[in-house]
Amino acid sequence: MINPRTEVSRRRLLRTGPAIAGALMLAASAPVPQPRRPRYTTAPRPATPQQPVKPAPARTPAVPVLKRPVFTLRDYRRVVPGPAFPGDAVALTIDDGPHPLWTPKILRLLQKHHVPALFCMIGNQVLGHEAVARDVVRDGHLVANHTWSHPVRMSRLPQAKVHRELDRAQNKIYDTTGQAPALFRSPGGDWSPGLLAGAAKARMVPLDWSDDPRDWSRPGVPAITRRLLAARPGQILLCHDGGGDRSQTYAALRTVIPALKARGYRFVALHQPGAQPTKTQKG
């Protein structure tokens, strides 16, 4: 005879068994929860071969606060120690680039005649033309800081804006070319005691010029050529590769460079502390 209590337990088991088995099957097929990962991290990421870490530029020597910028090679040597420039020396400086058309043309001309130059670069012109900027340094030329945005009244800017203009351009030029400028040229040669002090604080020598053909105004090839051919030994010549159509400048330089060399003039590089050229230009 079957115990009534045993019969009741057996019937409950038969009714609940399928439900328990189904629950076990669903639990087995459910995905295993994974630990939540943070969306981002503030920890520094290790460098990869595709993103090498650029070494910090060597700090240049402290620069005294000058009462006026450098205008001539004699002025330059008084500020930057080094051997005396030859008596027949002139220096060529080129502003407002890099430019995707005119900078490469001028580079080829300089290479043809073995002439070194100083390219005073605008930071927001380097932006987007990084390959051209690197070509300038690769060809052995030096670069100078010509501000980030070329403000026409640089001397009237507050010190905070002066610092941003210089610092932002310096970082962009160095990050692009690997060369840290040690020279600063104010747009339009606009200077003030505060700006001279700002250049010194940034450890850059303030640089001007002594022969200006005003090629930026496009006065014509003959006018640019005539003014550049009037250069005298010891002068710093000013030209432009950026800021617009520089076909007149390029055409004038094609005549002026070989003519000055035929006269016995020697083009020299403004070697800077902490920013040596990548190769030596001869001539």
Give me the residues paired with residue 72 across strands.
Answer: 235
Residue environment code for 200-238, b if the CB has 16+ CB neighbours within 10 A, otherwise e: bebbbbbbbbbbebebbebeebebbbebbeebebbbbbb
The catalytically annotated residue of 129, 141, 146, 240 is 240
**Residue 135 a catalytic site member:** no
Q: Is 95 a catalytic residue?
A: yes
Q: Which of 95, 96, 208, 211 is catalytic?
A: 95
Active site residues: 95, 240
